[in-house]
Structure 1
Amino acid sequence: MPMASQTAADTVPLQYVKGIGPQRARVLASEGIVTPDDVLRLVPRGYIDRSLVGSMRDIAVRLQAQSEWLESPGNIPASVSSESSVLVTVDHVSERPLRGGRSMLTASVGDQMGGQAQLVFWNAIGYYRTLLKVGERFLVSGMPEFNDRFGRLTFTHPELDRVDDDDIERMKQGAVLSMYPMSQRMKSAGITMRMLRSLVNSALELLQNSVIEVLPNEILERHHLMQRSEAIRKIHCPESMAEATEAWRRLKYEEFFLFQIMLAQRQGTLKRSEPGIVMHPKSPRARALMERLPYALTSAQRRVINEIIADVKQGIPMHRLLQGDVGSGKTIVALLCMLNAVDNGYQTALMVPTEILAEQHYRNFIRLLDGLDVSVELLVGAQGKKVRRTVEDKVQTGQAHIIVGTHALFDGNISYNNLGLVVIDEQHRFGVAQRAELQRLGRISHAGHQLWPHVLVMSATPIPRTLAMTVYGDLDTSVIDELPQHRKPIKTKVVFESQIKQAYDFIREHVRDGRQAYIVFPLVEKSEKLEVKSAVEHYEYFQKSVFPDLTVGLLHGRMTAAEKDVVMTEFLEARTKVLVATTVIEVGVDVPNATVMLIENAERFGLAQLHQLRGRVGRGADQSYCLLATKDHYRYHLKSADAGVERAKSIARLRTMEETTNGFTIAEVDLNLRGPGDVMGTRQSGIPEFAYANIVSDGDLLTLARSDAFAVVADDPELVQPNHAALRRHVMAQLSGQNSVHIA
């Protein structure tokens, strides 16, 4: 929460607060807690509320009910596990030595209803040995597992909060106590949960009067939101869980609203300040291509083309996200829009993440545009100097109309000639700086003018709705939400190692009928650390033992560009019948004659990746199949509740793949299972770090805040109206990196 200035109270060193002292203050400072303001920015990780603290019997019953999704087709869980809390007394503590000089500490605990549980610790044994004393009472919070054999719960490394008679008495009176994250360093320094609560109370007394409201009054009234000062107080010291819930709702909304205000302003700035190119919606080449296509465009494709054409004729730079399911026809939409740019006298560039994909697009464009007098050039890093120089000359002189390439599109001495449209495929593989550099090269390519090119970014698979509103919230969005009618849904089935010969026979049967197949592995070569199959090892096995009479190819990321090109050409021309590959084929590979895909060790792949791989088949009119091979023990776990969290997530992925081919459904399940950071990838820096809000579970609130924020900016773009003064200061402070609970 940003600030404009600080009060004297805010700068009081924590070491002078009662019970803290210099040593503990230093430990708190190492955790980023230096001032009272920092204290109030601590986010409660939960609350001790008598109504929410269950007995061990209640938890065991809930765990068994929670696991029923494993036996209910179509019932995909939002979360495969959740935290439970129980008040316990320590009955017994024991320590057992392990190999390597380590040890394991276990504590047997019981609750007032006679339930028993075991707490297990592998790390920081010395700390827990000192903490856990027989007869002491604790609130235990964690993700337990129920052991049917012993009839008891097991918590592995749970959070422990010591409670005394005063805490118990306050809980009996209905008090709700906040719980905060505690690092091991804080625990070792003797900082207790009660001490943190006391520190929060002191900070509230110091700063409560300096908290200034940032949301407009009409929004507070319309959505029945707490005042900001009240929300900050009640999120730390609620009198009931209902109050805590409303405080969280207010602060979640605020985080979403402030972020969406910045996105709305950024979008508005782009549209107001940058001169753009006017492209008229008349393209003889695009019409000619549509007439020669062997299929009709879907209504969704036509709608999206109209949205893009409406953008590019306005004289304002387009910044649009195009998303759709695997095989929905995004590339042909992009190509038709590129032809419109060419017919308006502009160059266009298509940037893709891999050379395999660039070469495939290049070949397809050459084939599709034959006879339309369109010059298509390929620009990739593996080209020789002579070829590269020839292509660069054609680009610079304007002879090249469409340039397909990788990072080479903005490397070296490349100079464009009237670059009017930039299309970026698989946009999450590129950084913001890379996209900006290509736009800059386009801007300087217009002789005598500084015109920004239009930008169309495409997503390989559907982006969950809430992620699209945050990571790409400043872009206009087009969605292709239907598949071509000639495409049949891919039939997907989980197969087990003991059935793998049947899978090989299935592949042979389809090859005998004139089709082709992929066999995908998670690794290039065998690993000593992982019990996972590899492509190179099994390529030799398939050649000699399984398909000795068939032509088997091998494709992986460590091959040179020339080697990959030879392999892909042989597969495209059907000289290779079975292609053994890694995930290098994940995106863009288009071989309509390939109708079977076998994915080995399917449990090792992410859900979005499995769906993307599956999209390499089913690209023609024939029925296609995807076989997900996994270990035999998953046969049992697919029907059982006896699975750990990670194994349960693997099961959820496999079952989802069997049950649906809808990429939008899969995207939402993947977001629930992995969270936004993993879904977008570690290189993606566009995901904001919200303290209170969760874009996975708070989608409705995000939608509401986005609508309100864009309405505010549409009415007052610079936030200069008097009722937006505090909001303006907050946004400016947030942009400058300041963060606080108040403005003074």
Structure 2
Amino acid sequence: MQLARQRLTSLKGVGDKQAEKLARLGLHVVQDLLFHLPLRYQDKTRLHAIAQLLPGQEAQIEGEIVSQHLTQSRNSSLLVSVCDPEGQRLTLRFFHFGFRQAQQFKRGARIRAFGEVRSGPKGLEMVHPVYQLFSEDKRPPLDTTLTPVYPSTEGLGQASLLKLIRQAMALLQQYPLPEGLPQAFLSTWQIPPINQALTTLHQPQPDDDLAALKRFAHPAQKRLILEELLTHQLSMQWLRQQEQTRRAPAIGPSRLVNTLVASLPFALTGAQNRVWEAISQDLQRPHPMQRLVQGDVGSGKTIIAAMAAIQAAEAGLQVAVMAPTEILAEQHRNHFAEWLEPLGIELAWLNGRLKAGEKRDQLARIENGDARIVVGTHALFQQEVTFARLGLVIIDEQHRFGVHQRLALHDKGHQKAGEEDTHPHQLIMTATPIPRTLAMSAYGDLDLSVIDELPPGRQPIDTAVLNQSKREEVMAHLVAQCQQGVQAYWVCPLIEESDQLDAQAAEVTAEQFRQQWPDLRLGLIHGRLKGDDKARIMADFQAHALDLLVATTVIEVGVNVPNASLMIIENAERLGLAQLHQLRGRVGRGAKKSHCVLLYKPPLSETGKARLNIMRETNDGFKIAEEDLKLRGPGEILGTRQTGGLQFRIADLERDQAWLNQAREAAVQLLAQAPDQAEVLHQRWLGEKMGYQHA
């Protein structure tokens, strides 16, 4: 029997409805249950004295019930007072209870309770603990091992998961899994075989190192962490190998790139020159370039993208430039037109709001090859768009696109002409700095370049953090600045007022400015505006026909107005570090000294305080990204919650980064020497065939 194929409906207690709930957790076959690993463990193997307990601690106590009563308030609760053998007392609090349950707690009865200890009005409490009532002569035995706590979903509690996993473990004893790692790896890393590791993690024994399990430092956990990291690296290595077997048009050096650089009113930084050299060399090779360019806000990625586009266009190829929002796509179009049209390179423009006639005209120019550069949003990868000879794909802020969207655009450049079978080069850009550890793990199939130098003359942005109570003063200060020629942004998290969120809305804020300062030239922009209206307001702001732009976070990425030097972000505690950094990066793009004010509504959580302090202390996007990784974890930073990327089951990129290099080196070795074992690992962790044997 193969546990990788046995459906969960073959287990006792799993019908169609239960199977649907399990599927929400990504559990479809018995093997999935085995790799549904505990988040943490509860220690019910021993009893704690009440005198030794601390708030926030999970503990198990035992004692005698001395009283129980109901509180007389709007939301009544049941309070059960327990006294341990040392005479110390603790209260068990129940908000949800029935009459029969309340009657169970008789004075003098013995009780054992497990839960999180909290400070209550009259001493320590446990809220809704797990408990057992018993008589003195029938005292239940203590657990002999830790109790695993699993990731769960609505309608599927821990008890149900425990029963199912016990069934899966019984099957594992009968039908062990094949070993996915060579013996040499097990010996070098000092880790156990796969079946032993799974048994330890789901059913840890009394002689296992319980403290190490809690710290995720046990050899059984190390086995699975390394295996998961290794499997992820295998898929990255395989993708890289596949790309190296594909053909791409070899694009020679460009004379027009030198013409453009000579005409620019600024000199490229050393970092820009270094990154450009790598890109130009990639384009000259007969295999598809797969390069990710990271650069902090304002570091000058767009001009590098334009230079790559020129090199491809001069060779007779087409270039697709895709951006995630219409505002950013339109900005790219304007920059590319300014730089490329004087060189005789024609542009086409595609977005979701072109009129039918305009769209037909643009599609025809793309299909017959007249337009060498095509700029647009996700409209670029729609089926009706046909390229004459797509040689380069440039994707900005790529983590905002799903994997399938990116592949659809890549596939449009797949040319078959006689014996020729080519794929386009890909240049991916992001202004969201990603810590190097995370970038190597998430984008191991890509070559990485970093523009780590800002253009000369850029001044750091001064950032202040103020209580929302200062809002009126900040508004008045902003207006005074605008009257002296400054342009400003005022960012609100919501478009209109919401009962759920106590946040100032953009529409309300705009109206407040209009009523108090009717002479202020103000524009309002948010995601619900039609594209034409957005474009008109942005153009007015760029032309300094407006002093103030009140906006939602729609302006987060790419908006470039060099004269704007003041940014107010309201309800800043609601936004993540990466988003705050991107928004702040809309100012500080010209010669003027720029300022950013973060308004927050108290009380602030510890995480909220940490975020705002980091923003006040540094303008360095990479430092901010490192702190963001600590606060939020890798999935949030990469945007992979939506795009099906890094969803590790046991590995943690921050905690386990010391093992990443080992996993990367092992992946290269395994792919070369044991592709069958690589396939076993891939199916085990990712549930699909990759064809490693043919890599």
- TM bin, normalised by shorter chain, reads 0.7 to 0.9
SS at match of 2:464: strand
Does residue 324 of structure 2 align to residue 349 of structure 1?
A: no
SS at match of 1:371: helix
Which of 88, 110, 114 is equivalent to 1:135? Answer: 110
Distance in structure 2 (CA, Å) of the matches to 1:652 and 1:128: 43
User: Cα distance 1:12–1:595, how it changes in 2: closer, same or farther (>3 A)?
Assistant: closer
Count of equivalent residues: 671
Which of 17, 37, 54 is equivalent to 1:43? Answer: 37
Task: Kindly provide the amino acid, as one letter, of the partner of residue 628 in structure 2.
Answer: D
Structure 1 residue 567: Cα displacement: 0.8
Task: Kindly provide the amino acid, as one letter, of the partner of residue 268 in structure 1.
Answer: Q
- For structure 1, the residue ranges without an aligned partner over 5 or more in a row are 16-21, 64-82, 638-646, 739-744
Larger mean Cα displacement after TM superposition, 87-96 or 527-536:
87-96
Structure 1 residue 119: Cα displacement: 5.3
Distance in structure 2 (CA, Å) of the matches to 1:301 and 1:463: 18
Does residue 184 of structure 2 align to residue 214 of structure 1?
A: no
User: Cα distance 1:44–1:736, how it changes in 2: closer, same or farther (>3 A)?
Assistant: closer
- Which residue number in structure 2 is paired with residue 595 of structure 1? 565
Distance in structure 1 (CA, Å) of the matches to 2:351 and 2:20: 50
Distance in structure 1 (CA, Å) of the matches to 2:104 and 2:437: 42
SS at match of 1:138: strand
Distance in structure 1 (CA, Å) of the matches to 2:452 and 2:486: 29
Structure 1 residue 467: Cα displacement: 4.2
Task: Kindly provide the amino acid, as one letter, of the partner of residue 731 in structure 1.
Answer: H
Structure 2 counterparts to residues 9-24 of structure 1, below 5 A:
none
Which of 213, 237, 240 is equivalent to 2:204? Answer: 237
Asked if structure 2 preserves the Cα contact closer than 8 Å seen for 1:416 and 1:445, the reply is no
Asked if structure 2 preserves the Cα contact closer than 8 Å seen for 1:87 and 1:111, the reply is no
Task: Kindly provide the amino acid, as one letter, of the partner of residue 280 in structure 2.
Answer: I
- Which residue number in structure 2 is paired with residue 278 of structure 1? 250
Distance in structure 1 (CA, Å) of the matches to 2:164 and 2:403: 40
Distance in structure 2 (CA, Å) of the matches to 1:119 and 1:679: 40
User: Cα distance 1:733–1:581, how it changes in 2: closer, same or farther (>3 A)?
Assistant: closer
- For structure 2, the residue ranges without an aligned partner over 5 or more in a row are 690-695
User: Cα distance 1:343–1:728, how it changes in 2: closer, same or farther (>3 A)?
Assistant: same
SS at match of 1:626: strand
Distance in structure 1 (CA, Å) of the matches to 2:166 and 2:103: 24
Cα deviation digits, residues 43-80 of structure 1 (max 9, x gap): 334345599987777664xx7xxxxxxxxxxxxxxxxx
Distance in structure 2 (CA, Å) of the matches to 1:693 and 1:343: 46
Asked if structure 1 preserves the Cα contact closer than 8 Å seen for 2:8 and 2:14, the reply is no
- Which residue number in structure 1 is paired with residue 487 of structure 2? 516
Asked if structure 2 preserves the Cα contact closer than 8 Å seen for 1:515 and 1:577, the reply is yes
Cα deviation digits, residues 285-304 of structure 1 (max 9, x gap): 22222233333323322222
SS at match of 2:465: strand
- Which residue number in structure 2 is paired with residue 252 of structure 1? 225
Asked if structure 2 preserves the Cα contact closer than 8 Å seen for 1:520 and 1:580, the reply is yes
Does residue 518 of structure 2 align to residue 548 of structure 1?
A: yes
Larger mean Cα displacement after TM superposition, 27-36 or 237-246:
27-36
Does residue 457 of structure 2 align to residue 486 of structure 1?
A: yes
Structure 1 residue 452: Cα displacement: 0.7
Structure 1 residue 186: Cα displacement: 7.2
Asked if structure 1 preserves the Cα contact closer than 8 Å seen for 2:21 and 2:156, the reply is no
Does residue 241 of structure 2 align to residue 290 of structure 1?
A: no
Structure 1 residue 539: Cα displacement: 0.8
User: Cα distance 1:575–1:49, how it changes in 2: closer, same or farther (>3 A)?
Assistant: same
Structure 1 residue 581: Cα displacement: 0.8
Structure 2 counterparts to residues 184-583 of structure 1, below 5 A:
202=170, 205-207=173-175, 210-235=176-201, 236-238=203-205, 239=207, 240-241=209-210, 244=213, 245-272=218-245, 274-280=246-252, 282-369=253-340, 371-411=342-382, 413-444=384-415, 449-545=420-516, 547-583=517-553
Taking CA–CA contacts closer than 8 Å with sequence separation of 6 or more, which of the two structures ends up with the larger relative contact order? 1
SS at match of 2:573: helix
Distance in structure 1 (CA, Å) of the matches to 2:20 and 2:499: 43
SS at match of 2:668: helix
SS at match of 1:536: helix
Which of 621, 632, 636 is equivalent to 1:663? Answer: 621
Cα deviation digits, residues 362-389 of structure 1 (max 9, x gap): 1122223452222233211212222222
- Which residue number in structure 2 is paired with residue 624 of structure 1? 594
Cα deviation digits, residues 377-431 of structure 1 (max 9, x gap): 3211212222222222322232222211112212363222221111111212222
Structure 1 residue 678: Cα displacement: 3.6
Task: Kindly provide the amino acid, as one letter, of the partner of residue 148 in structure 2.
Answer: M
User: Cα distance 1:201–1:129, how it changes in 2: closer, same or farther (>3 A)?
Assistant: farther
Structure 1 residue 276: Cα displacement: 1.0
Structure 1 residue 666: Cα displacement: 2.2
Asked if structure 2 preserves the Cα contact closer than 8 Å seen for 1:471 and 1:686, the reply is no
Does residue 665 of structure 2 align to residue 707 of structure 1?
A: yes
TM-score, scaled relative to structure 2: 0.84
Larger mean Cα displacement after TM superposition, 376-385 or 729-738:
729-738
Structure 1 residue 624: Cα displacement: 1.1
Task: Kindly provide the amino acid, as one letter, of the partner of residue 542 in structure 2.
Answer: L
Distance in structure 2 (CA, Å) of the matches to 1:12 and 1:524: 46
Which of 554, 576, 590 is equivalent to 1:606? Answer: 576
Asked if structure 1 preserves the Cα contact closer than 8 Å seen for 2:640 and 2:646, the reply is no
Asked if structure 1 preserves the Cα contact closer than 8 Å seen for 2:68 and 2:78, the reply is yes
Cα deviation digits, residues 106-155 of structure 1 (max 9, x gap): 555667777765555556878986998863212324xx6556xx474555
Task: Kindly provide the amino acid, as one letter, of the partner of residue 204 in structure 2.
Answer: C
Distance in structure 2 (CA, Å) of the matches to 1:331 and 1:127: 69
Cα deviation digits, residues 527-556 of structure 1 (max 9, x gap): 2333211111221210220x3332111111
Distance in structure 1 (CA, Å) of the matches to 2:15 and 2:3: 27
User: Cα distance 1:618–1:682, how it changes in 2: closer, same or farther (>3 A)?
Assistant: same
Asked if structure 1 preserves the Cα contact closer than 8 Å seen for 2:44 and 2:60, the reply is no
Which of 650, 655, 659 is equivalent to 1:697? Answer: 655
Task: Kindly provide the amino acid, as one letter, of the partner of residue 284 in structure 2.
Answer: K
SS at match of 2:232: helix
Say what the alpha-carbon RMSD is for the aligned residues.
3.9
Asked if structure 2 preserves the Cα contact closer than 8 Å seen for 1:419 and 1:445, the reply is no
